[in-house]
Every structure is written in C-alpha cells, then in structure tokens.
Amino acid sequence: MPMKVLSVASEAVPLVKTGGLADVAGALPGAVAQHGVAMTTLLPGYPSVLKALPRARTVHSWDSLLGTSARLLSGKLGEHPLLVLDAPALYDREGSPYSDAAGRDWDDNWRRFAALGRAAADIAGGAIVKRGKPQGFDLVHAHDWQAAMAPAYLHFAPLGTEAVPSVVTIHNMAFQGWFDRKAFAQMGLPASAWTMHGVEYHDGVGMLKAGLACAAAVTTVSPTYAREIRTGTFGMGLEGLIIARGNAVSGILNGIDIDRWNPGRDKALAETYTWRTLERRLANKRALEAEFGLDEDDGPLFIAVTRLTWQKGMDVIPQVLDHLVGLGGRLALLGSGDPEIERALFEGAARHQGRVAIRLGYDEDLSHRMQGGGDAILVPSRFEPCGLTQLYGLAYGCIPVVSRTGGLADTVIDANPAALAAGCATGIQHDGVSHDALSAALTRAAQLYRQGEVWHRVQKNAMKCDFSWTASGKAYADLYRSLIA
C-alpha cells in the first residue's frame, strides 16, 4: 500500500503561481509517486483554480470553517489527485493570491490561511467519508507559512484521535505570516496553544513559527540554507527555534520539472537543442536580441528573470550596468517588483540603448526563450533558499552567475582554475552582493565567454547535470516513511 500524503500549499503550477513554491508543489506528487507515495494536493479555491475544475465533485463541506461556509472539491493536478477548498468569502478574489490590486496584503490573510490549515487537519483526520469509511491520510506536508497552521491544528486540535504526523517545508524564511494576537481567539485552538511552544510569537500569532514548533520534521530547500537559517542573518528571528529542533531540520534540494524545462523539446524556443547541438542555440540568441530590441553581436548576452527585490540583489544591477556594457556585454531583464528598482533599471536602459533592455511583468514563455537564448543568467541573491532560475539556466546552457549562498552555493560549481582543470565547472560564484563583487563576477564571465571552447565546455557540463526530481523525490519519500514508522 502506498503511503497517503496530503501536500498543502497556497500555490501550485499549472493552476496558480507567484514563485518557486508553485513549481515545487506542482512537481512533488510526480516526484514521490515512484517511491511509494500517493500524494494529494490541497489548494485554496482561488478563481483561477476553480476555473480549471468545471466538473469537480464536492467531497465534504463545512457549515463553519473558522466562521465561513466551505466545501471541498475533488479534481486533478496533472495526473495526481487534487482537493480544492472552495470558500468564496476567503478566496473568491481575482489577482494575487495574497494581496489586493494595490499590492496590500489582505487584512484577513490570517483567516484565509488558518482555514487552509484547519481544513488540512480535518482532511488528514478523515473528514472525507467514502462508503461509510473515513479517508484519512498518513502524513501532512505543509509548505510555507500559508499552510503551516496544519501541523498546529493536528497537534492541538486534531479531528480524530489518531496522531497524524506532519512535515513543514520552508521555501523562504523571509515570509513568516505574523498576525496580531486578536486573531488567536478566532482560530478555534485551545488556550494551551498560546505558548512559546505553540502559535504565540512576539505576542502575536506566528503561523510559520507554529508549524516549525509542531511538525515532526522541518525541511528547507537546500542543505546550505538549512545551515544558514541557524544564524540570525538568515533565520530572521526563528534561528533559535531552528537550532532547538536540531536534527529534525534538514535540507532537500528542489528539482526541476524536466518535461517543462527541456531545451531539446521546448516549444517556446525558436530552435531546440541539446548539449550535442549547442551551435543551434545561436538562433535563439538572435531571436532574443530582436525581441528585446538589443544590438545583434557576438558579445555575451546576460539575462535575469526574477522578482525585482532586495532579496534577489536586483538593486545592485543598475550599479553595474556601465561595467557590463563596458565589457561588451548586453542585458535582457524580465521581472517586476520594487518600483524603485524598476525606475533605476529603466534609467540604465535609457543610457544604454541597444545594450540593456527591461521587460516588466510576468511571462512564462518569455522566460523560456531567455534561458534558451541568453549566454549567462545573473542571480545575485542576498539569500536564496534554493533558487530555480539558476537550475533552468544550467539545463539550458545559460551559465549561472550567482552569489555563494543557499541553494545557489549547492547547485553551481564555480569555474575556478581547479574546477576548470577537472572539467566540472558549471558557472560563476561571487561572495557577497555588492557593486565590486558583481563587477568582478561579470568580468570573469566575459573573460570565460571569450575563450569560446572553454565556455562551451562549461555549458556542456551544466547541461549534463541532473537536477530532475529523481534524487529529491526519494529523499522526501524516505523522510515521510521515517516519520510514519
């Protein structure tokens, strides 16, 4: 009998995505399936999700789920089972899953996502009844603060008597879901949950904190980030709890969905290619230059596909544009976020017409064309739990130029002389995120690029790396099994 695991997330491809969490939640069921895990995903019923399930069956309903009526719909996420929490008062809002059109977080986010956790605990405990039999789960896997109340409900207020173990995965410690203490009274938790070992955090409700305290195991998305969050800089206040959880905390790297991210079959590309046919990449580079209105030449074409935030180091990019262009490079950047950074980037692009071009917005297909046509992708994150864009870069031979932190440190092998001599270099790393560090990395990238054969060797090394879900799917399945036993 396969283990039955309920994965709870606030986003999952292809139904709703704002970042890497969605890629992971969407791929995980397939990744663990071959290791004896039958995974069902639970998502909130945002309009985009409900639209994809026109003929869904109702499998359970609540008269009052934290004060609102809700029903549970059953559908499919790709080939895998999906449950959708349809609670119109909470989720029937267009746009971002978390904020209004002006970008302000919804006031009732505590209720929206506590309800998700409460529903998950009920479902795991057997709320769905088929032919008179409750259909519980062996384990709950909760992603980020939006799902992290599930372990707290399972611990303090389970539906059934049987203890269902849980795992919390931290995809980004910067987002913790902290709310005013007033919320606690409406969460349906016993008074005993209001302690430093439960949901209380700095005199408010800490949703991620509650999950980290109550889950049987905590994972984050790279081994280096799992170590980093034991320190104040990366733990962001929760380092003490992470240290206290000791060996219950581990790091499992994200994989990439090699069906969606495969340059040999990618329909978004002008020309598909493999490491054996690298020369065909040039057509994609020419197409990308044309698409961005950049000069056509044979210097290095840098790209970036990212949220425009301080975390991603994007405030430093405008400072290094003169240097990048001075090296004979060009930059095509796709992203959106901090208006200050957007403004600085546009200013830089205006000074460097034909050399620097910025696209604001979110465009999945364009991100594929950029990985397939760019020579190198810049990922100068100040912290990076795992990072996916450098993995796509590796798969597409778009050499990652990354800061040495978190998952970037774990997935990119710096092209230092030893790694070049050993034939295993896959990218360029820099220490710290500053004008000087990034400039030096750009110089190294441009120098390496000009040594055509050496560069192609690094591209081939990168493209041959296996960042599929094979290893990580097994690691999650092994973890689940150890907790159920």
Q: Which residues bind ligand ADP (CB under 6 A)?
A: 19-20, 23, 172, 305-307, 334-336, 362-364, 367, 386-389
- CB 196, min distance to ligand ADP, A: 29
Q: Tell me the closest approach of the beta carbon of residue 86 to ligand ADP, in angstroms.
A: 26
Shortest separation between residue 359's beta carbon and ligand ADP, angstroms: 8
Q: Toward ligand ADP, which CB reaches closer, 108 or 363?
A: 363
Q: How far is the CB of 188 from ligand ADP (least distance, A)?
A: 31
Nearer to ligand ADP, 24 or 213 (CB): 24
Comparing CB distances to ligand ADP, the nearer of 227 and 307 is: 307
Whose Cβ is closer to ligand ADP: residue 165's or residue 407's? 407
Q: What is the spatial distance between Cα 406 and Cα 186, in angstroms, rounded to a whole number?
A: 37
- Taking the complex as a whole, the smallest distance from the CB of residue 337 to ligand ADP amounts, in Å, to 9
What are the tokens at 76?
């499919």
Tell the smallest beta-carbon distance from residue 436 to ligand ADP (Å).
Answer: 24
Compare residues 154 and 462 and give the one whose CB is closer to ligand ADP. 462
Cα angle, residue 145 at apex, residues 210 and 206 outer, rounded to 5°: 40
Instruction: Kindly state the smallest distance separating residue 3's Cβ from ligand ADP, in Å.
Output: 27
Q: How far is the CB of 237 from ligand ADP (least distance, A)?
A: 19
Among residues 20, 31, 21, 28, the alpha carbon closest in space to that of 390 is found at: 20
Beta carbon nearer to ligand ADP, 37 or 398: 398
Retrieve residue 197's tokens. Answer: 């070992």
CB of 336 to ligand ADP, least distance (A): 6
Both tokens of 147, joined, read: 């799902």
Q: Biggest alpha carbon distance in the chain?
A: 72
User: CB-based burial of residue 352 (10 Å sphere; 0-12 exposed, 13-18 middle, 19+ buried)?
Assistant: middle
Q: Which residue is nearest to ligand ADP (CB)?
A: 20
Question: Among residues 159 and 463, whose Cβ is nearest to ligand ADP?
Answer: 463
The least distance separating ligand ADP from the CB of residue 163, rounded to whole angstroms, comes to 32
CB proximity list for 166: less than 8 A, separation 6 or greater? 139, 140, 141, 142, 150, 151, 154, 211, 214, 215, 216
The count of C-alpha atoms lying within 13 angstroms of the C-alpha of 365, restricted to the half-sphere facing its C-beta, is 5
In the complex with ligand ADP, the residue whose CB is nearer, 125 or 387, is 387
Nearer to ligand ADP by Cβ, of 156 and 302: the residue is: 302
Task: Specify the residue, 151 or 387, whose C-beta has the smaller distance to ligand ADP.
Answer: 387
Integer angstrom CA distances of residue 116 from 37, 200, 468, 472: 22, 19, 29, 26
